[in-house]
Chain A
Amino acid sequence: MTTQDTGPRMGPGPAPGRAHARASRRRRDAAYPYALYLPAAVVFLVIFLVPTAMAFYFALTRWTLFDSEFVGLQNFRDFLAEQNLRIGFQNTIIYAVVTSGLKVVLGLLLGVLLTGRLRLRGFLRSVVFFPTLVSTVAVGITFAMLLKPQTGLVNQALALVGVDGRDWLGDAATALLSVALVDVWKGVGLATVIYIAGIMTIPREYYQAVAVDGGGAWHRFRHVTLPLSWPATYSVIILSFVGGLRSFDLIWTMTRGGPGFTSDTIASIIYKQYQAGFFGLSTAGNVILFIVVTAIAVPLNYFLGKRQVTA
């Protein structure tokens, strides 16, 4: 959802012509009768606002789908007493940091590479972006096959160069990181595209100035590309960090939080409670997840936004 909000705004500094945009929007408001907004408002109300409000209520009940009993904050106490919550939180943070960090680094490098003068540039851009288009569940199932201990392609390839691969997803030490790397593989395309757009908006004059001053490729990258593509970095960090906090589909298709609880994230813990039929409890978990994501994303957004102005 954040894609649409932060995606298009790439230029450094405040967006140009914002006052103008606001004024014209007000005029557009007046141009249509309010009744025209009603259908959208009804849809929004019925399938978004009402369930959200109900979720806050059901989080306070013991809910079996057949009936519900009000229990106050008991569900929140039970959720916070969940034995594997600590592992879940740890894993969620590790996963978010690893994936967003790698996406920034790899996305920036690929972005620089793919804005350079390359013969197959268009083709390579498509190749890098391609994994983003594939369904996450399909990616998860495919990689689960590739990572199998004896029959998987990854270990067979490693065996060719004499490396003894391990049971990547069945081993507690490697399960979470394996999933995170697959997430990076899938998500780096989007980061690259954002970087390409960001780098393209950097005026050529800066590079010419570096050339006049006798700076080399490293100077161009370190003192022009890197600082001036900050808005892109900002978008990539926010997008992938929030995405990492909410990560669920890949983890569920590849490890189901296992082995044991070693790759559980908050989202998979909540899903398991829902599966067990603890609907009130899992709703309470979702309310907590909502608060946590907001508590991390809003300050992060503020902090990164501030850097953007000073950069």
Chain B
Amino acid sequence: MKTSHRMTGAALAVLAMAALTSCGSGSDSGTAAAGSVTLKFLIDNSPATVDTAKALADTFMQANPTIKIETETRPGGSEGDNIVKTRLSTGDMSDVFWYNSGSLLQALNPAQTMVDLTGDPVLANVAKDFLPVVSQEGKVYGVPGGTAMGGGILYNRKVYEQLKLEVPKTWADFVANSDKIKAAGIAPVIGTFKDTWTSQLFVLGDYYNVQAAVPTFAQDYTANKAKFATTPAAQAGFDHLAEVHAKGYLQEGFGSATADQGMKLLAEGKGAHYPMLSAQLPPFVATMPQAATDIGFFGIPGTDAAKNGATIWEPAGVYIAKTTENLEAAKKFLAFVASPAAADAVTKAVPPAGPYRITGAELPDDAIQAAKDLQAYVDEGTTAPALEFVSPVKGPSLEQITVAVGSGLTPAAEGAAQYDKDVEKQAKQLGLAGW
């Protein structure tokens, strides 16, 4: 029996070692050498974010040789959300991390997991109207990373020039333009439903028109009083999506095309309109320089030409995890991220996709055309943040529903009703009041 006990002991010891070593990985950040500090910085793997983060880290390290920044990438979308949530809830988060602002931030429980920056000098240069999207219950948790972007129609200006078209101010104009483009043998609208998220733009990018028609929509929607299916202005996004498919505007193979292929079709002039976020453009300019000048941006047109405007997405935030052991260095880095110097560094690496949210940071003269077009909307004051920045309610299945509506599988009204149900599920799971 004695031997067997010893064997058991040994086996348990081996087990315990295995368990410990597997838990140990990843938590060995912190002070590397005496006097120098290593900050881990978790970012998503989209080309724009990777380039932006690299520019920020490199410039910061030059100015602060004692602080080393190691970037670490994660997937985007809901897969990335789960990585961030898991790491935050297990206390395994990197010192600083890049994550969406707006409704997605609310689900991270910032009060428990992030360092409160309210009133901190770190925020000195942050544009005041950006703060609400990185706040919860009046406390601020992040600084803006990168630029704001527009969600609307990217269009090929060469095609518009050749066919002598004007930028449409109403949906009827958009349809008329599309008919002419189709007659010229060019696909009027590019669909890239293999990357399902890209199908949502007609709905999400239409929010400027929704709030122009129904100013209280966001409040009522959050309070479970307004619905997409019962608000004609809100359902219009679904209607547009269905109409684009029904009229045969989409290019051949839209069902299995990817976002990259969509950008390529647009830049080559094989497609004229691409409902997309302007942030898709800058990383693409490196491979196809003509995209900087040939591709413009306009907001998704609504019913009234006098109320024309664009929906914008606020930049993501950079946050500090509560578990960090290098708070001083992390704050120093955040203060740099939210400074005009950082904006300059980023501009050199990634052409900005829209305005910065940092006081004193401006678009360069050689900014890409789409960013200039967006800036024009901002200067006129005809922009509204997307619904996800003004309401925590956002259903997870919108992208599948919009693919189904955009492929003619589901009628628009049914799609809107499906989304209302999807939203209800999310609101219940979040435990929101009134659902």
Contact = CB atoms under 8 A, between A and B. Distances in A.
Contacts of A133: none
Interface in B1-31: 1, 4-5, 7-8, 11-12, 15
B400 A69 contact: no
A169 B256 CA distance: 7
Contacts of A147: 256
Interface stretch (B65-73, B75-83, B138-146): B75-83
A277 B104 CA distance: 11
A259 interface: yes
A172 B407 contact: yes
Contact of A170 (B11, B86, B88, B256): B256
Interface in A213-246: none
B211 interface: no
Given A35-B7, A39-B8, A150-B253, A277 B78 contact: yes
Contacts of A149: 252-253, 255-256
Interface in B71-127: 77-79, 81-82, 85-86, 88-89, 107, 109, 112-113
A280 B431 CA distance: 12
A69 B431 contact: yes
Interface stretch (B148-156, B385-393, B420-428): B420-428
B162 interface: no
Indicate the size class of the contact surface on chain B. Answer: 35 or more
Contacts of A276: 78, 396-397, 426
B194 interface: yes
Interface in B189-225: 193-194, 196
A74 B194 CA distance: 33
Contacts of A277: 78, 81-82, 85, 107, 396, 429
A33 interface: yes
Interface stretch (A48-56, A58-66, A106-114): A58-66
B409 A150 contact: no
B250 to A, nearest CB: 11
Given A66-B89, A150-B253, A260-B404, A42 B410 contact: no
B11 A39 contact: yes
Interface string A252-264: 0000111111100
A280 B429 contact: yes
Interface residues of A, number: 42
B1 A33 contact: yes
Contacts of B8: 35-36, 38-39
A261 to B, nearest CB: 6
A119 B85 CA distance: 58
A148 B86 CA distance: 35
A19 to B, nearest CB: 30
Given A42-B15, A261-B404, A65 B85 contact: yes
B82 to A, nearest CB: 6
Interface centre among B77, B255, B256 (most CB of A within 10 A): B256
A65 B82 CA distance: 10
B131 interface: no
A44 to B, nearest CB: 12
B425 A78 contact: yes
Interface string A85-126: 000000000000000000000000000000000000000000
Contacts of A257: 400
Nearest to A42: B15
Nearest to B399: A258
Nearest to B408: A172
Nearest to A69: B431
Contact of B15 (A39, A78, A259): A39
A118 B7 CA distance: 54
Interface string B237-280: 00000000000000011111100000000000000000000000
A260 B400 contact: yes
Nearest to B428: A78
A35 B3 CA distance: 10
Interface of A: 33, 35-36, 38-39, 42-43, 62, 64-66, 69, 74, 78, 82-83, 144, 147-150, 167, 169-172, 256-262, 272-278, 280-281
Interface of B: 1, 4-5, 7-8, 11-12, 15, 77-79, 81-82, 85-86, 88-89, 107, 109, 112-113, 193-194, 196, 252-257, 396-397, 400-401, 403-405, 407, 409-410, 418, 421-422, 425-426, 428-431
28 contacts: A36-B4, A36-B8, A42-B15, A62-B431, A64-B85, A64-B430, A66-B85, A66-B112, A78-B425, A148-B256, A150-B252, A150-B253, A167-B252, A172-B407, A172-B409, A256-B196, A258-B400, A260-B403, A260-B404, A260-B409, A262-B404, A275-B78, A275-B79, A275-B81, A276-B78, A278-B426, A278-B429, A281-B429
Given A64-B107, A170-B254, 12 more contacts: A64-B430, A258-B193, A259-B409, A260-B405, A261-B400, A262-B409, A272-B397, A274-B82, A276-B78, A276-B396, A276-B397, A276-B426
